[in-house]
Every structure is written in C-alpha cells, then in structure tokens.
Structure 1
Amino acid sequence: MTNSEIVDLLELTGRLMELHDRDAFKTRSFQTAAFNLDKSTADLANLPVEELVKLPGIGKSVAQKIREIAETGRLTDLDELLAQTPEGVLDMFRIKGLGVKKVRTLWHELGIDNLRDLQQAGENGEIAKIKGFGASTQEKILAALEFLQEQQGKVRMDKAALIANLLRDELTKHFDRVEISGQVRRKAQEVDTVQLLIQTSDPVSAMLTLSQLPNLTQNELDSSPFVWRGKLNGFDVLVELLLYPAEQIDRQLFIQTAGEPHLQQVGVGGVTLLQVAYASPDVTEPAIYERAGLPYIVPEMREDDFAFRWASRHQNDELVTWDDLRGTLHNHSTWSDGKQSIAAMAAYCRELGLTYFGIADHSKTATYAHGLSVEQIQVQQAEVDQLNQSFGTDFRIFKGIESDILGDGSLDYDDATLATFDYVVASVHQTLTMSLEKATTRLLRAIENPYTTILGHPTGRLLLAREGYPIDHRAIIDACAEHNVVIEINASPYRLDIDWRWIDYAIQQGVMLSINPDAHDLAGLLDMHYGVAIGRKGGLTKAMTFNTLTLEEMNEYLQQRRAQIGK
C-alpha cells in the first residue's frame, strides 16, 4: 500500500463516519490523521504501531488501523460504513461544493441517494427549498452534474499513459509487436479511448489469447473479429485493441494516431493525407507526409490543420524537449504544503541535470496550505541563502513565492515583501466562481502588478474534476505581452493550464511560457514531462520556453526585471 492509498482510506473513513453521525472524537481522529499524513514522507506501510504514534496527529487507535490497512489492504470500519452507504451517495461527494453535511441533508431530507435523483430534484427546484441551500447552490449542483456527465469515461493523460504501458507490457509477452496509438500517442490531455495496435497474422487465435488475459473484460457487442473493445479492470475508460498483419502496422499506426481533421488535410493534387496513407507504397510516417507534399508533423500535433499553419513558420527541431529544460520555478516544500524540504527538492533537481530550482511556496492567504507569513518568509530566505552557499557556480535556488491573487486582483503581500523575492508566481486559489468579466479583470490587475513575474495556472481548472473559470484569453495574453509577464503551463496532469490551444497565440504575441511542475514532492518534478508534451502539442518552441534559459541567463533576466520595477 502506498502512502496516498492509506491516506485515501483514512480520509474516506472519516468522511463516512461524519456522514453517519458517528462519535465526533473518533471521526476527528481519522480526519486529522488523513490531513497530517498527506504530507508525510515516512513509509507508512512499513512502520510499526510504536513508530506510527510518533507522527503528528496519530494516536494508538488510528495507528492500529493503519497497520490493518497495510497488512490487509482493507479497513473493517470502512467496510462496515460502505455497506450502510448507497453507492449513489458516495457519487454525490464528487460534486464540487457538496460537503458531508449537505450530502447528509439531501440523503435524509429528500431521500436522494443517486446522481439521477439529485439532478431531477435540482431541475424541479426542490434543492433550493432546503434550508441552507438556496437557488445559487442548486444552480452550482446542476452545473457540476453536467460537467461530470461530460467527463464520464475519460481519464487524464497520466493515467491513460499508465494504462497503455501496462497493456503494452502484458501484450508484448504474447505478440511480436504492440504499438500505443490514438489519443495516448498524440498526448491528449483527456483520453476516452486507450488504443493499441497488435501485430498478428491470425486474428482468431489473437482474440482467444486476449480473452484469456487477466484483468481484461471484453464488451463483446462492441467488438468485432479484428477489434477487441472492453476495459482494463479498475479503470473506467474504453480500451481498444486493433489487430493488423505485419504489413499494415506502420500504415495504421499513422492513421490511428492522427485526428480526423488532420487526416483530411489536402496535399498535392487535391488528395487528402488519409488517401495518401492508404495508397503510399512506403508506409513510414515521414514518407507519407512527403508523398502528400506536406511537412512532417510530430505525433503530438496531429489533431487538426493547426499543425500545418505552425509548420509554415517553424521547424520541428524548434519544438521544446525535456533535454532543453534548465530549471524549474513553481515548486512547494514542507514550508507550506509540500512533502519534501527545499534541500531535498534542490538535490533531486541536480540529479535530474537541472541547474536551478525555484521555491514558490504558498502565500499567507492560503491558510489551508500553510501559507507563509512575512516572518516565515524571512526565515525561509535565510535558509535558501545558506543552501546556496553550499553550491558551486553551476546550481542555484531562486527565491520565489506563489502569491494569491485576491478578489480585487491585488497580490496578498505588500510591495516591500514582494521586493524580497527573485520572482513571483501570481495565482488564483479562492473564490473561483466568477463571470468572464470578473475573472478577466481580476487577472489583468494582477498582471499589471510590477512584481508579477509568472501568471500561474490561468483558469484554475482541474481536469475531469473542475471546469476552469472563464477568461478572455486574448486579453490576458495581450496584457502579459505588454507587461512582460510569463505565462505558466502548469505541468501537473491534473491541470495542464494554460490550455495548449492558446500556446501559439502567446508565442505570436511574444509571451514566453514556463513549464512549471507545481511540484509538492520529488516525483512531482517529473510532471514537467507532461508539460513538455502539452507544450509540443501547442507548438511551443525552445526559444519561447522560459525555463530553457541557462542559469546565467535566468539570473540576469530576474535581476534586470527587478531593477526595472519602479522606474
């Protein structure tokens, strides 16, 4: 059991105990344990009770529950609570804005125990009549339900890649060649079909082999003699396995990877790329593009005709790669809600071959994330100074902050405090329900602040969980160009914000983009891989990627920018 799996079970137990109005003290003990352990770097599954009780917020009773989870993968208390809770009530916890008390009220007062009845009650106006809800809450619930329905059957980029790689590893034991294709290969940020191509000269035998593989459940109605469709157990996303003979694999890898609008691009002689792919004797991907008289497009960009417009101005070797990255600038540590110290995060960056690490812990308004007070900032910066003394000239920690953008667009520190940082990432974290005008105005004021270096996750979205607040992207990007503000590509697979579709416009306006992992632990630093993928998808070049600047270039840039403030 991983730490996150243990924490999830403790958190769910505490939530269901509150839902069923169990002993308040015991309920709080589970909730407190889950909250504290979420930041822990200890190997919870392998700690005995006597070591677990030394951790903050962990009493002997909860420590014993952790041992039960670690040894059995289950928790008896939770199993009992789940048996008393309709599955639809658990689904209601996925609705943004519905806490335990509101879910309990809906369940007990209206008898709602599934999302279908919840939607019907909202449409009939019954939710608005409940004390403590009102028309506004009812509207938000209906909007959240609509969003969830649209996202059903999809997974994020990271989980899609995990599924695809698990399948490929298993399938290569039985087949000579297996290729990941479709949405996963072109790095879609949300995936509704995980597709792989299997080389076989005997589809009947191949289907029999697939039917015998563990953890695969076939949907026979949707399948055909040459296409296996179903699911990998434990994941709610369609799996599609296409069977082709050896001579067709390369051709189909190209066709199945590209989006339909991309394949319909017309080349020389008025023939589409798809037609050329079927007719070309040379089925390698570069050869297909060449035969069509079109520039070669990398797999990530094969969505529509945008890639061809991009290619009229750029070369593929201009696209940013992981190896181009020189540092990382949006990261958190144990000073706020991170799981690792600044020293540990910086050391891992050095292992990755990076030459600078920017610490940007949460600011004072983010109390839920242990945001830093002015006094804490002074101590943290002294720690950074001390750490920097231990490095040579080839590595440096930059002092940053993720400063909250308040409701009126101001940042949550005074100018004197902001002036102590090498750079400032300005982000919205609270009061996310805004009109387009309100959200845009709020961001514009933050961009105009001379201390704002980077605009963090511009829409605040959480993929498959929360829609971003609406903004006028052109106005925001234009303002960043005017005020020399970098825009973040938040590389967390939960965000990938700014959306890749706006990258090219930013580049054309001269706005640099920073691939920021928003890392809260060592593994989170690797999320920059997702940021690179989504950057390439949007046509991001090395030249317009902020954190491809060398250490010397970054240091000079930040110093010059600070010197310009107040001029």
Structure 2
Amino acid sequence: MTNSEIVDLLELTGRLMELHDRDTFKTRTFQTAAFNLDKSTADLGNLPVEELIKLPGVGKSVAQKIREIAETGHLTDLDELLAQTPAGVLDMFRIKGLGVKKVRTLWQELGVTNLQDLQLAGENGQIANIKGFGASTQDKILSALEFLQEQQGKVRMDKAAMMANMLYDELSAHFERVEISGQVRRKAQEVDSVQLLVQTSDPVSAMLTLTKLPNLKQNERESSPFVWRGRLTGFDVQVELLFYPSDQMNRQLFIQTAAESHLQQAGAGGVPLLQAAYASVVSEVTGKDTAEVEQAIYARAGLPYIVPEMREDDFAFRWASHHQNDELVTWEDLRGTLHNHSTWSDGKQSVAGMAAYCRELGLSYFGIADHSKTASYAGGLDAERVRQQQVEIDQINAGFGSDFKIFKGIESDILGDGSLDYDDDTLATFDYVVASVHQTLTMSLEKATTRLLRAIENPYTTILGHPTGRLLLAREGYPIDHRAVIDACAEHKVIIEINASPYRLDIDWHWIDYAMQQGVMLSINPDAHDLVGLLDMHYGVAIGRKGGLTKAMTFNALTLEEMSSYLQQRRAEIRK
C-alpha cells in the first residue's frame, strides 16, 4: 500500500476512536502517528517494525498496526470501529466546521446519522438549540451542505485526467482509435462527465465488448445504441463513451470538446460553429489530422482558431481580437517555480532535493516559500529558523553554477487585520514574499477584500497567494471583490498567483484576462510539498491558457537573469 493509504487509515482510526470516546492516550497515539507520517518519505509499507519505531511519532504498537495494514490491506481496530459507525456519520466529517466532537453531539443528541438528517435538523432549527452550536453554526452547516450537494457527481481536473487516461489505455486495446474529449480535453477544473470517443463501424459489437470489461458498470437506462454511460469502478462520476465511424471521429471530437455556448458563436457570415462543423468543407479534410479539421471548421465559420482549453464561450473570440494563439503560455515557457515547501515546514523533501528535481525538469530557479511562524500547525518558521534556512540556502547555492539558483522566499500568513506575520526586519531578508490567508476563512466580502488590500499594500508583498482560499469540491472560497483586489495589485506591483494545485486552481481562470488588462503579471505556482507536486504546474498552465494567459504576462516565465534583476530592483525600491 502507498504511504498516503496507510496514513489515511491511521488518521481515520484516530478520528473514529475519538468519535466513540475511546482511551484518550491511544487515540492521540494514532493521531500523532498519522500527522508525522504524512510528511515521511520512507516506504512505510516495506519497513519492519524495528525500522518503523525509529520514525517520529511511531511507537511499537502503531508500528505493528502499520505492518498489519501493509500485509492485509486492513486494520482490525478500524474495521471494528467502522462496524459501529453509521456510514452517513462519516459523511458528516466532510462538512466544513464540523469536528469530531460536534459530529458526536449531533449523532448522540439528535440521532443524526446521515447528511439528509443533518439538513432536516438544520432546517427545523434543532441544531441551533444544541448547547455550543447556535444559529450561526446552524447556518454555516446548511450552507456547507448546499455547497456539497452542488458538487456531487464531480471530480477535480487531476482525477478526471487520470480516469480518462485509464479508460484510454483500456479501450485502445480493443478499438482502432480512441480519443479523450469533452470537459477533460478542454481542461475543465471540475468535471461531471469523463467522455471518450470510440471509433467503430459496429456499435452493437462495441457495446458487447464494453460489457466484458471488469471495471466498467453500465447504466442501461442512460445508455443508447450509440452511447455507453455508466461508472468506472471506484469513481463517483459519469463516464460517457460515444461510438462513431472513422469518417466522423475528427468532426465529433471538435463538437464534443467545445461547450454549447462556444458552438453557437458565429462569424461575420452568420454561420455558427456547430453548423460549420457539419459543412461540406470539413468533409474535404476528413482524412487529415484533428488540428487541420478543426482549423477548417473555424475558417468555415469565419472565426479565428481557438485552442481546446478556451472553447468555453465567446470570451475566446474577444481574447483573439487582441492576441495570437502562439502567445499563450506553455509548460516549455516556464523557467522556474516560486511557491514550494520543504521539510523546514510541512513539506516532504529537503530544499536541496526539491531544487535538484527542478534542475532535472529543466528549470533554472527554485523558490522556497515555507510556512511562516503563525502556521504553527504546519511547522511554520520563526525568525531564528528563517535565518538558519537562509544559511542552508546560501550553502547549497554555492555549489551551483550560474545557470541555477534557489531564491529565498516565505509564505507569510495574512493576519486578520491584513498585516503579515513577521516584522519588517525579517521580511527584508527574503528575496520575495508570498502573502496568503490560511486562518479565519469565514469572512464577509467587505472583510475579506479589506484584509487582502492591506496585505497588498505592504511593500514586502511580492505575490498574492491563492486569493480566495478555495478548495475545489471541498470548500468554497471566501468572497472577494476581484476587481478591487486586482486593481490594488496593479497599483502596488504585486503578482497574483495561479495556485496550480488541482485542489485550488486559485485565482479562478475567469479573472486572468482582467488581471492582464490591468498590467498584473501572474505566477503559476505549484504550492508543492513534494517532488511530484512540482508537476502540478501542468494544471496551472492548462488553467492559465483557458483564461488567456500569455507567456509575456507569466511571472515565472522570466529567465533566471530577469527574475534576479526583478527581485533585486524591488528590494531596492523598498529600501528607498
């Protein structure tokens, strides 16, 4: 089993032990082990007990539990707890603001055992009457329930891509041509249907082939002779497989990829894209590749060619009136990465290890931005540890040539009043500062905007990190006045982050073009906590392109020399 799977089982065991009011010391043992092992790079599943007990937070008892998980895929203690816990109670942990104690109270005092009961109790006012809850907590629970209901049946971009690739590999073994289409191809940040096109001249045989594949479960009611609909085992999102003959594949790949509002757009001749897709001119290039067919469709409609990521609505055509497709940022354009974490705070790799991997990726600089002192839960750095880390960075940099550098950054918490959580003397030691909100996320639009504006006004703020604090499909971001925030960034020369983690993708792509219009650059930051996390910049590039981000307005597309010059000049301006 993977480390994350082992840690998840330990964490769930600790949570359920607390829920059932088991021995406090034993409960804490599981919770502490899960917290510490979440950062471990050791191969937990293959370590013997005598090696496991050498890891932080792991005693002999927990080490034996880890061996049980690794060898059996289960944990007896957890199985017993799950047998005593209604499945719906576990769902209640997904509600923002509901910790173990509150879930236990709702279960024991109101008999709430699922989300439907929870919503009913809130609508009837029962939650507000419980000691320690009140009307405010009840309202927050109802709002969180509404948000979760809106997200049902959806997956994030990364999981959708993984599913699509799994299906592609499976189907390609049985069919001559398979294409990933729909929301996945146009890089939607949330996906409610994973769609692929399957080339076949015999839909009946194709359907029979699919029924024999072990990981696919068909929804016969939703399917038709030419469309298979159902689920992929282990995923709660619709899978849609469309059957087309060879001469329809390119045409349909275009149609199925674009959103309906994009297909309705028409050029000067009044021909909508959807109509152009069926026009005879397309037939003349049917035998050619997908790109040529799609270019012919746009030409027939009298419209400029739009890349798949941008085929959402009419925005792309407004963008195209001022830009060319080759201006859009690509992975190859990125020269470095600036928001990353290491073992100095809550990362899993050392600064040196992260930097070395960046060099392997062909990047020329790595920016470390570990958590600041307020983020004690994440091992945030106080001023003394900042100094120690910067000494280490100087030592590592001394071993590099002129083609690579580690920049000294920090992810400084924006406090409730908008101030950063270091004094000016400490802030002045960094090459750059990523300012982010991590705590007290429940705010009105006015409060949240004011808080960000003050942080932006701080001369040491270089980059505004994940501006709304959202977690896709899990937590709605706090409301902000995007225009006011972007305008302030323009005034104070602050970069805005596109947090490339597929859990965030924040700032939302809809605001990228406005930021560029105001002269605000955007930085595609992975918020990486391990080596694999650095690759999340691929998602950031996809979202950047969807929003029309150009290489020229991408902060981390600057070369090492340009970035060094920019940061030095900014620090010099602060000292004036």
Fold match by TM threshold 0.5: yes
d(CA) in 2 for partners of 1:275, 1:228: 25
Question: How big is the shift at 1:271?
Answer: 1.3
- What secondary structure is seen at the aligned counterpart in 2 of 1:240? strand
Aligned counterpart for 2:412 among listed residues 394, 403, 406: 403
Other-structure match for 1:523: 532
Other-structure match for 2:200: 200
d(CA) in 2 for partners of 1:60, 1:200: 58
Question: How big is the shift at 1:291?
Answer: 1.5
State the AA in 2 paired with 1:234.
G
Matches within 5 A, 1:204-223: 204-223=204-223
Matches within 5 A, 1:13-412: 13-279=13-279, 280-281=282-283, 282-283=285-286, 284-412=293-421
- What secondary structure is seen at the aligned counterpart in 2 of 1:467? coil
CA deviations on 1:400-429 (whole Å, 9 max, x unpaired) are 000000001000001111000000000000
- What secondary structure is seen at the aligned counterpart in 2 of 1:229? strand
State the AA in 1 paired with 2:444.
S
CA deviations on 1:359-397 (whole Å, 9 max, x unpaired) are 000000001101100000000000001111000000000
d(CA) in 1 for partners of 2:226, 2:459: 60
Does the 8 Å contact 2:412/2:422 carry over to 1?
Answer: yes
Other-structure match for 1:490: 499
d(CA) in 1 for partners of 2:109, 2:101: 12
State the AA in 1 paired with 2:422.
Y
Does the 8 Å contact 2:270/2:301 carry over to 1?
Answer: no
d(CA) in 1 for partners of 2:419, 2:339: 20
- What secondary structure is seen at the aligned counterpart in 1 of 2:143? helix
State the AA in 2 paired with 1:5.
E
Matches within 5 A, 1:414-433: 414-433=423-442
- What secondary structure is seen at the aligned counterpart in 2 of 1:143? helix
Question: How big is the shift at 1:268?
Answer: 3.9
CA deviations on 1:450-487 (whole Å, 9 max, x unpaired) are 00000000000000000000000000000000000000
Does the 8 Å contact 2:499/2:507 carry over to 1?
Answer: yes
Question: How big is the shift at 1:229?
Answer: 0.3
- What secondary structure is seen at the aligned counterpart in 2 of 1:6? helix
Gapped regions of structure 1 (runs ≥ 5): none
Aligned counterpart for 1:532 among listed residues 518, 538, 541: 541
Please report the TM-score for the alignment, with normalisation by the length of structure 2: 0.98
d(CA) in 2 for partners of 1:97, 1:548: 39
State the AA in 1 paired with 2:517.
Q
d(CA) in 2 for partners of 1:84, 1:33: 23
State the AA in 2 paired with 1:409.
G
d(CA) in 2 for partners of 1:421, 1:504: 30
Does the 8 Å contact 2:414/2:420 carry over to 1?
Answer: yes
- What secondary structure is seen at the aligned counterpart in 2 of 1:362? coil
Please report the TM-score for the alignment, with normalisation by the length of structure 1: 0.99
State the AA in 1 paired with 2:480.
I
Question: How big is the shift at 1:21?
Answer: 1.2
d(CA) in 1 for partners of 2:206, 2:557: 46
Question: How big is the shift at 1:270?
Answer: 1.2
- Percent of aligned pairs sharing the same letter: 85
d(CA) in 1 for partners of 2:355, 2:62: 34
d(CA) in 2 for partners of 1:54, 1:320: 46
d(CA) in 2 for partners of 1:68, 1:173: 37
> Structure 1 stretch 262-271 or stretch 338-347: which is displaced more?
262-271
d(CA) in 2 for partners of 1:495, 1:565: 31
CA deviations on 1:234-286 (whole Å, 9 max, x unpaired) are 00000000000010000000000000010000124211000010123235111
Other-structure match for 2:456: 447
d(CA) in 2 for partners of 1:343, 1:75: 36
State the AA in 2 paired with 1:189.
Q
State the AA in 2 paired with 1:362.
H
Question: How big is the shift at 1:566?
Answer: 4.3
Question: How big is the shift at 1:99?
Answer: 0.6
> Structure 1 stretch 148-157 or stretch 18-27: which is displaced more?
18-27
Other-structure match for 1:461: 470
State the AA in 2 paired with 1:342.
V
Other-structure match for 1:552: 561
CA deviations on 1:181-200 (whole Å, 9 max, x unpaired) are 00000000000000000000
Question: How big is the shift at 1:28?
Answer: 1.0
- What secondary structure is seen at the aligned counterpart in 2 of 1:317? helix
d(CA) in 2 for partners of 1:78, 1:206: 42
- What secondary structure is seen at the aligned counterpart in 2 of 1:243? strand
Does the 8 Å contact 2:341/2:371 carry over to 1?
Answer: yes
Does the 8 Å contact 2:269/2:302 carry over to 1?
Answer: no
CA RMSD, 1 decimal = 0.7
d(CA) in 1 for partners of 2:204, 2:84: 46
Question: How big is the shift at 1:292?
Answer: 1.3
- What secondary structure is seen at the aligned counterpart in 1 of 2:349? coil
CA deviations on 1:1-24 (whole Å, 9 max, x unpaired) are 110010000000110111111122
d(CA) in 2 for partners of 1:134, 1:316: 54
d(CA) in 2 for partners of 1:384, 1:556: 19
d(CA) in 1 for partners of 2:174, 2:77: 42
Question: How big is the shift at 1:492?
Answer: 0.2
CA deviations on 1:331-363 (whole Å, 9 max, x unpaired) are 000000000000000000000000000000000
Other-structure match for 2:290: none
Aligned counterpart for 1:505 among listed residues 514, 533, 536: 514
State the AA in 2 paired with 1:306.
F
- What secondary structure is seen at the aligned counterpart in 1 of 2:61? helix
> Structure 1 stretch 19-28 or stretch 503-512: which is displaced more?
19-28
- What secondary structure is seen at the aligned counterpart in 2 of 1:225? coil
Other-structure match for 1:541: 550
Question: How big is the shift at 1:311?
Answer: 0.5
Question: How big is the shift at 1:39?
Answer: 0.4
CA deviations on 1:513-545 (whole Å, 9 max, x unpaired) are 000000000000000000000000000000000
State the AA in 2 paired with 1:235.
F
CA deviations on 1:423-455 (whole Å, 9 max, x unpaired) are 000000000000000000000000000000000
Gapped regions of structure 2 (runs ≥ 5): 287-292
